[in-house]
Amino acid sequence: MGLNAITVYVAWNVHEPEAGRFDWDGQADLAAWLTLAAEEGLLAVLRPGPYICAEWDFGGLPWWLASKKISGGRTMRLRSSDPAYLQYVDRFWHELFDRLRPLTYKNGGPIIMAQIENEYGFCGDDKDYIRHLIGRAKEWLGPEVLLFTTDPPSVAARGSIAGDEILTVVDFGPQNYNLDYNFGVAKRLNGADSPLFNSEFYTGWLSHWGERMANTSAAQLTADTANLLAYGGGNTSLSFYMVHGGTNFGFAQGANIDGNSYQPHITSYDYDSPISEAGTTASRASTAPANSRWGWELRATIERHLGVELPQAPAPPPIVGYGKVPMTSSISLFDALGALAPTPVRGSALTMEDYDQRWGLILYRHLLDSNDLRNASTLNLGAAPHDYATVGRR
């Protein structure tokens, strides 16, 4: 593709699934992943949160922060300088950066930059919080790692700190493509001679349940990429978000809130990116087959900008047709509850955190008094359910 660095979000709830218990093995082996990136000749841009968004469950924050069983749980102010919150951030970051410090560029590793928070301008403007994170990153990861914040231009001043304490970086896509304005915001916060960097140049978009999948204009994106790379005398950097689609398996995907509307994300994180969720990169030219990708066109744009011939791209992954697969038996979810769920708990309806449940589903049942039904009473469910509510006869 012609890219020389890869960005990586660090989901806190993956690495500390329970308070004080850390996981750095298997798919959580971040050090091994970064070592592999270095072996492939890639630099790394670390995005350790503590909040990452990423359309990931709770934005990467661990569920137990909302549990009453920990000090400050459910009462702490998240993403702020509240000491009740920062005590857990510090514990996690100390563990994380102790493991990653040997992988910084100064120490022979690939890590050249680290992002502080994520689009914090949407959430708040607690400068003490940002300064606390800056101090911890410099102390535990190393002062030589370039630290930066990422925000859309409209909220960059809220989410960062003007001056030389940290590099303020903007993110935007073809839908908000005013280079003079967007980079002008960054220059006013950083200084006129600061480097230009778009840390999230959007190649597509996320999809909520019930929405159509994102569909990118290949011609617009490749043209905008060429203009962005040439901006500022050709010394502008960008990171495609996403360059390769993926999958958030199980309940890992998050959700958005739009006013009173709850918008859960689908399991697919394909993003209509240049390299699809399945690994395909075919051209989206008029002669290309339906549902193909435009990764080759973007690759050619980058190749022209670099003025070098890129290495041969790998062959596309094989596709296998399995034909019809008949489903010969089934069981309803309610009939399988005894095998799937723990013993029911009687009493008031509690939250998942009260049951030490990280994610998944809870079935709440309530028996109505027959007198209420005979008197034609109104059943008031309070706030609208976020999934399903059924009313039936026993």
Q: Which amino acid is residue 192, in one-letter code?
A: A
Q: Answer for the pair 248, 277: CB distance below 8 angstroms, yes or no.
A: no
Treating both helix axes as pointing N-terminal to C-terminal, what angle do 127-140 and 83-100 enclose, rounded to 10 degrees?
A: 30
Token code pair at residue 39? 């072996």
Token code pair at residue 211? 């929405």
CA 296 – CA 158 distance, rounded (Å)? 38
DSSP 263-331: EEBPSEE-TT-SB-TT------STTSPTT---HHHHHHHHHHHHTSPPPPPPPPPP-------------
Q: Answer for the pair 48, 10: CB distance below 8 angstroms, yes or no.
A: yes
Active site residue 200: yes
State the pairing for strand pair 111-115/146-151: parallel
Name the 3-class secondary structure at 144.
Answer: coil
- From the list 16, 200, 297, 353, the catalytic residue is 200
Token code pair at residue 180? 């003079």
Active site residue 309: no
- From the list 16, 117, 119, 353, the catalytic residue is 119
Name the 3-class secondary structure at 347.
Answer: coil
Q: What residues act catalytically?
A: 119, 200
